[in-house]
């Protein structure tokens, strides 16, 4: 590959230097707002003990400063919530040499020319007292309690209002909307700014909301859909998130409830900051994306259309949800999307003619069916007779009545230039924990099960016939770019042997060839296989941990025969993933046209992006020559740019965003 554009490299170096770092023995120093793209003030230097940061706008009254422990996103995310809150609420800076930043936007009603900052030791002696020049932040447009009514054109629509959050003293109102009514209208704010800006949102408690720009209408969920914080202390208060960069000319900023899945939360936004970008920053933003398009690796996003029907507000529709997902994936840098349609053994998430799908019915009918399943399969199956067990399939059925989810996904993905792969989980019946999801074929043929009732036995010919029939329907009936055969969801090793894996993929390849003749264009076959680090070796449960040698030997045959185009080994365990090597998989496909992909799967709530990039770079060194897959719905909002970073894994000096 050629070297990155000079402008990209120059800005990368400048931004890295601007992040701020210190060495042992260095005196404490303060940065200036223009030093950082987010306009925070860096506090660098060695501290022998904890310090307390306070600010004063008049030189007399002192209040705790909002301190973030760490200087970058990759340092903020792993920060323990207790340490974070001690810094953000109390102004506490831990001992050591880790750089911190002062987010004065929570403390000072800008614009202000200057403010005093002092750092005191536990004995109340002053370690530093300095006047901070804030004139470098005077060009930032702030939306908050002072102007939000004007920006909406009058009174805020009900139930929107202003309400103090109570974490800072004195209390300051946040833009607020309760979470109990999914039909609440969005708040449309018209800042009237022009040109490119970076958009930051500050929350006093950890809030949940959706944000979009009127001209784009790409809804960004905060927090990301599956990465909702739980009620057990993961919240980081007084947090400010970078959402995106965009040309705001003629665009409104829109807020609505939503975002969190696990616990719906009110919108509570202290401020929205629109930071103007220089011509060089705009050029950098565009150059990075041009470089990714020209020389970057592909990236596959993931969409589960049916799942949100159960969790999201009732106002959500199949078409609107799918349209937003595809636009969001395109914005994130995806080249393809894997659209989940079935886990073989459970009901279809598309309009199938060969697989049973959810149908509307009464709660009584559902309970009777669940009880019949329990009676057939015995004590291992839980009797799903609670209300939530009935409501989920009923909601899915109502969702699927709006249209065929897979066809809607194809239409919306193609509209924004994304390739579409039907994602087919190759083996999970859900009999044990969710019998309402189990497909009719499996209920009628319990002999198809392996020695674990959750999984089909692929060594049986009828099971392979069933799998090939479902894959063939997807290839024959939908104009796809390919199909993704996910053997890792779930890879119960007793359910497969080499012969069964070779047979089923060979026959799906033959169905692929027939479908290509029908549709008049190539269709790829991608496979995801359990790796030798699929599940922890330390696990006492034999279901997942350990070797999956049959997949490596089958892979050699698949690749040599030309039956597949992509393969990615999966490690379910975040602890084991750094130890996973690509060498045996690279050797298995050597000399063929098969591309070896990287599967990073789940993002830990508190795992820095650098951890995943280090793994990706290690895999590239071991022979990974394809693209990357990242389970996009299970990571924090702060990591939105990691798709672009992975696409540019061969350009380690390029910074995607400041």
CATH number of the domain residue 326 falls in: 3.20.20.60
* 655 inside domain: no
Same-domain status, 636 and 597: yes
Same-domain status, 73 and 153: no
Q: How many domains does the chain have?
A: 3
Same-domain status, 150 and 121: no
* 642 inside domain: yes
Half-sphere exposure of residue 339, counting CA atoms within 13 Å on the CB side?
A: 31
Domain boundary among 283, 318, 336: 283
Residue 335 pLDDT: 97
CATH number of the domain residue 195 falls in: 2.60.120
Same-domain status, 127 and 147: no
* 656 inside domain: no
Look at the alpha carbons of 354, 529, 646, 538 in this order and tell me if their dihedral is positive or negative. Answer: positive
* 652 inside domain: no
- The proportion of the chain whose per-residue pLDDT surpasses 90, expressed as a percent, equals 67
- The answer to whether 406 and 478 are in contact (CB under 8 A) is yes
Lowest mean pLDDT of 228-242, 499-513, 620-634, name the range: 228-242
Instruction: Give the span between the Cα atoms of 582 and 569, in whole angstroms.
Output: 8
Residue 308 has pLDDT above 90, yes or no: no
Smallest Cα–Cα separation from 567: which of 554, 548, 549?
554
Site of tokens 């894996």? 501
Same-domain status, 257 and 312: no
Over range 171-200, report the average pLDDT: 93
pLDDT-derived band at 485, boundaries 50, 70, 90? very high
Domain boundary among 137, 169, 191: 137
User: Please, what is the Cα angle at 476 between 421 and 444, to 5 degrees?
Assistant: 95
Strand, helix or coil for residue 65: coil
Smallest Cα–Cα separation from 63: which of 108, 95, 110?
108
Same-domain status, 555 and 636: yes
* 73 inside domain: yes
CATH number of the domain residue 30 falls in: 2.60.40
> Per 3-state DSSP, what percentage of the chain is helix, strand, and coil (rounded to 5)?
35, 20, 45
More confident residue, 606 or 255: 255
**Cβ contacts of residue 105 below 8 Å, gap of 6+?**
39, 66, 142, 202, 240, 271, 273
Mean of the per-residue pLDDT values of the chain: 87
* 289 inside domain: no
User: Please, what is the Cα angle at 631 between 627 and 636, to 5 degrees?
Assistant: 120
Residue 8 pLDDT: 37
Peptide bond into 170 cis (omega under 30): yes
What is the per-residue pLDDT across 113-166, written as a single tens digit (0 to 9) for each?
999 999 999 999 999 999 999 999 999 999 999 999 999 999 999 999 999 987
Same-domain status, 70 and 163: no
Instruction: Give the span between the Cα atoms of 61 and 517, in whole angstroms.
Output: 77
* Range(s) of the domain holding residue 230: 141-283
* 69 inside domain: yes
Same-domain status, 441 and 542: yes
* 657 inside domain: no
Same-domain status, 248 and 309: no
What is the per-residue pLDDT across 571-623, written as a single tens digit (0 to 9) for each?
877 777 888 999 999 999 999 999 999 998 876 667 888 889 999 999 999 99
Same-domain status, 196 and 109: no
Domain boundary among 253, 283, 313: 283
More confident residue, 305 or 340: 340
Same-domain status, 129 and 166: no
Smallest Cα–Cα separation from 105: which of 272, 243, 223?
272
- Contacts within 8 Å (CB) and 24+ apart, 556-561: 556/588, 556/589, 557/498, 557/502, 558/501, 558/502, 558/505, 558/527, 558/594, 559/588, 559/589, 559/592, 559/594, 560/592, 561/506, 561/509
Smallest Cα–Cα separation from 210: which of 277, 269, 161?
269
Token pair belonging to 392? 């989920």
Same-domain status, 146 and 71: no
Over range 18-40, report the average pLDDT: 74
């Amino acid at each position: 590959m050629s070297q990155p554009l000079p402008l990209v490299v120059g800005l990368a170096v400048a931004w890295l230097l601007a992040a701020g770092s210190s060495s042992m023995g260095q005196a404490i120093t303060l940065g200036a707002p223009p030093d950082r793209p987010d306009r925070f003030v860096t506090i660098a230097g060695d501290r022998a003990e904890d310090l307390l940061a306070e600010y004063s706008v008049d030189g007399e009254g002192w209040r705790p400063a909002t301190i973030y422990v760490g200087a970058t996103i990759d340092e903020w995310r792993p920060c323990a919530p207790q340490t974070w809150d001690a810094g953000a609420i109390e102004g506490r800076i831990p001992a050591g040499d880790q750089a911190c930043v002062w987010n004065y936007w929570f403390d000072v009603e800008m614009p202000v020319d200057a403010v005093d900052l002092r750092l005191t030791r536990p004995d109340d002696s002053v370690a530093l007292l300095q006047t901070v020049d804030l004139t470098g932040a005077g060009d930032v447009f702030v939306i908050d309690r002072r102007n939000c009514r004007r920006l909406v054109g009058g009174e805020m629509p009900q139930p929107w209002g202003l309400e103090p959050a109570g974490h800072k003293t004195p209390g300051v109102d946040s833009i607020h909307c309760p979470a109990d009514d999914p039909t609440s209208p969005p708040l449309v704010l018209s800042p009237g700014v022009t040109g490119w800006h970076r958009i930051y949102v500050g929350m006093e408690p950890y809030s949940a909301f959706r944000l979009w720009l009127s001209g784009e209408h790409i809804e960004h969920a905060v927090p990301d859909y599956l990465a909702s914080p739980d009620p057990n202390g993961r919240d980081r208060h007084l947090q400010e998130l970078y959402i995106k960069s965009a040309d705001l000319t003629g665009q409104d900023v829109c807020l609505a409830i939503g975002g969190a899945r696990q616990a719906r939360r009110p919108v509570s936004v202290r401020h929205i900051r629109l930071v103007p970008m220089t011509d060089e920053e705009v050029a950098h933003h565009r150059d990075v994306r041009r470089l990714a398009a020209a020389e970057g690796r592909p990236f596959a996003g993931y969409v589960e259309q049916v799942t949100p029907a159960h969790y999201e507000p009732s106002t959500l529709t199949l078409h609107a949800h799918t349209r937003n997902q595809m636009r969001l994936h395109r914005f994130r840098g995806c080249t393809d999307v894997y659209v989940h349609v079935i886990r073989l053994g459970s009901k279809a998430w598309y309009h199938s003619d060969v697989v049973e799908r959810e149908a509307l019915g009464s709660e009584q009918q559902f309970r009777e069916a669940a009880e019949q399943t329990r009676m057939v399969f015995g004590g291992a199956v839980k009797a799903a007779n609670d209300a939530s067990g009935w409501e989920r399939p009923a909601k899915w059925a109502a969702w699927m009545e709006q249209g065929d989810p897979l066809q809607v996904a194809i239409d919306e993905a193609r509209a924004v230039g994304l390739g579409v792969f039907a994602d087919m989980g190759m083996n999970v019946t859900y009999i044990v924990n969710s019998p309402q999801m189990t497909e009719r074929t499996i209920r009628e043929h319990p002999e198809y099960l392996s020695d674990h009732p959750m999984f089909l036995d692929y060594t049986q010919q009828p099971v392979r016939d069933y799998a090939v029939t479902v894959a063939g329907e997807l290839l024959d009936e939908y104009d796809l770019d390919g199909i993704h055969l996910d053997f890792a969801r779930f890879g119960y090793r007793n359910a497969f042997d080499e012969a069964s894996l070779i047979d089923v993929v060979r026959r799906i390849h033959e169905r692929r060839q027939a479908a290509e003749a029908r549709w008049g264009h190539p269709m790829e076959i991608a496979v995801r296989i359990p790796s030798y680090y699929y599940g922890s070796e330390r696990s006492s449960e034999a279901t997942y941990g350990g070797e999956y040698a049959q997949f490596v030997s089958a892979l050699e045959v698949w690749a040599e025969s030309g039956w597949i185009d992509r393969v990615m080994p999966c490690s379910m365990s975040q602890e084991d993933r750094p130890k996973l090597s690509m060498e045996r998989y690279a050797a298995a496909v050597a000399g063929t046209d098969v591309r070896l992909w990287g599967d990073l799967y789940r993002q830990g709530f508190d795992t820095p992006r650098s951890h995943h990039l280090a793994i990706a770079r290690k895999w590239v060194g071991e022979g990974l020559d394809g693209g990357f897959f990242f389970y996009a719905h299970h990571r924090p909002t702060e990591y939105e740019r990691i798709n672009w970073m992975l696409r540019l894994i061969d350009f380690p000096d390029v910074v995607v965003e400041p």
